[in-house]
């Protein structure tokens, strides 16, 4: 039940929860890239997923690849509204979004065995006795079949003079294996929301950081960008641009162009950019797309604390606030992300850091306000990135109450 209005918190949580389900490998559309990796990619078996998923049953007849188109639309809307998602994809997936060619190096983490095999061929003379030809074997509908990498590939032997072409074709086959139709469907959905040429301005790092944020919480940045209330007065001594570009400088191939993207990445400008020459937009790399789409989940505790504001009588040296930050410093990164999710509606951090946490009307710093009786649990206002924190009498009580609120996900308020 809404107390008043939705100023953005529920919208951010909608993208967070929807993406967590839609892209989860459990449903068969996507899969983990490796046993020890939590990045996901399109599953080759996604075309076999049964179409009896109740939540899509009424729409499945419109298009055989509707679910993948839906995934593309969700990504497009997340970009359009600058909402973070709870998913990190492989580098090859982001390159697919950008329609950029994949290199052998991109597969190093996605398929280490394949990568090592191709590198061995590249770095060693080809042994003619092996009888390698431009053919691969793959499983199709439960049967092992041969597929030519190019016409008459079964008659063309791999040798030193053509092994680079062989490697290039093998990389292309490995990426497209069983997912070509699904990839095209996802791109159709994405391009229904955002013009395809506009996406080419990004690098992989930018797309990931903007879509998924950072996995690590910078406590100093969080605290620095939190507001503290004393009646209607807000104490704000933070210089907003101090850490704006600190986290992304090392990954950007073109700082000027990326800043241009950040300046125009609002819905009205996204529509306007559909008329911009596509060659201008191609200056961006896959890394930049990843940064923009997914954001970052690396938490810088110092950045968090520096970008925190206090209200209602709290201030940075207040004993309850000291207890609060001491507790956050003791948390694991997963617990910090849960705290961030509880207060802001998302568990990712904008690529600019805590200084640019988004609220209902643009950037809104993490805020802690003195509120409630000592017996009450902390309360969150996700539209305003605000934590209502009672003035608990002891450190132990604060720890217990905060833990209960975060882990149970209760006391969620909307203004």
Burial zone of 282 (CB within 10 Å; 0-12 exposed, 13-18 middle, 19+ buried): middle
Taken as a whole, the chain contains a residue count of: 415
Burial zone of 58 (CB within 10 Å; 0-12 exposed, 13-18 middle, 19+ buried): exposed
Q: How many CB atoms lie within 10 A of CB 297?
A: 24
Residues 6+ apart with CB under 8 A from 68: 29, 42, 46, 182, 183, 185, 186, 189
Whether the CA torsion 146, 150, 155, 158 is positive or negative: it is negative
Contact in structure between 213 and 299 (CB atoms under 8 Å): no
Question: 354, 386, 406: which is closest to 217 by C-alpha?
Answer: 354
Question: 408: which 2 tokens?
Answer: 């149970």
Question: 83, 68, 73, 69: which is closest to 17 by C-alpha?
Answer: 83
CA–CA dist 304, 308 (Å, integer):
6
Beta bridge partners of 138: 145
Q: What are phi and psi of 53, to 5 degrees?
A: -65, 115
Question: 300: which 2 tokens?
Answer: 């810088």
Contact in structure between 158 and 178 (CB atoms under 8 Å): no
Which position among 63, 83, 253, 383 bears the catalytic label?
383
* Active site annotation includes 383: yes
CA–CA dist 300, 222 (Å, integer):
8
The DSSP output letter for 125 is -
Known catalytic residues? Answer: 383
């Amino acid at each position: 039940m809404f107390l008043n209005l939705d100023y953005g918190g529920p919208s951010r949580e909608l993208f967070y929860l929807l993406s967590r389900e839609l892209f989860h490998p459990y449903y068969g559309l996507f899969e983990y890239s490796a046993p020890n990796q939590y990045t996901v990619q399109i599953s080759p078996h996604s075309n076999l997923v049964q179409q009896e998923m109740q939540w899509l049953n009424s729409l499945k007849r419109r298009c055989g690849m509707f679910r993948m188109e839906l995934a593309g639309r969700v990504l497009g809307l997340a970009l359009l509204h600058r909402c973070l998602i709870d998913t990190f994809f492989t580098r090859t997936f982001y390159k697919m979004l950008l329609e950029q060619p994949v290199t052998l190096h991109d597969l190093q983490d996605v398929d280490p065995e394949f990568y090592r095999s191709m590198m061995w061929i590249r770095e060693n003379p080809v042994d003619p006795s092996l009888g390698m030809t431009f053919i691969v074997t793959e499983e199709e509908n439960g049967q092992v079949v041969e597929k030519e990498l190019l016409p008459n590939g079964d008659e063309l032997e791999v040798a030193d003079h053509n092994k680079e072409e062989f490697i290039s074709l093998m990389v292309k086959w490995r990426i497209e294996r069983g997912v070509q139709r699904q990839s095209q469907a996802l791109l159709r959905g994405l391009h229904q929301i955002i013009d395809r040429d506009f996406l080419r301005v990004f690098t992989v790092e930018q797309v990931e950081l903007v879509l998924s944020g950072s996995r690590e919480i910078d406590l100093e940045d969080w605290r620095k960008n939190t507001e503290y209330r004393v009646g209607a007065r807000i104490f704000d001594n933070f210089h907003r641009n101090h850490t704006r570009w600190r986290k992304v400088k090392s990954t950007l191939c073109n700082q000027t162009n990326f800043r241009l993207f950040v300046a125009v990445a609002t819905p009205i400008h996204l529509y306007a950019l559909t008329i911009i020459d596509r060659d201008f937009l191609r200056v961006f790399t896959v890394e930049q797309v990843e940064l923009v789409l997914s954001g970052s989940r690396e938490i810088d505790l110092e950045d968090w604390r520096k970008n925190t504001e206090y209200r209602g009588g709290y201030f940075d040296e207040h004993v309850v606030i000291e207890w609060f930050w001491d507790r956050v410093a003791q948390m694991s990164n997963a617990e910090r992300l849960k705290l961030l999710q509880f207060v802001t509606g998302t568990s990712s951090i904008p690529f600019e850091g805590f200084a640019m946490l988004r609220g209902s009307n643009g950037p809104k710093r993490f805020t802690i306000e003195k509120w409630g009786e000592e017996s009450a649990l902390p309360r969150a206002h996700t539209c305003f990135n605000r934590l209502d924190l009672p003035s608990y009498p002891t450190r132990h009580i604060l720890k217990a109450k905060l833990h209960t609120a975060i882990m149970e996900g209760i006391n969620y308020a909307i203004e």
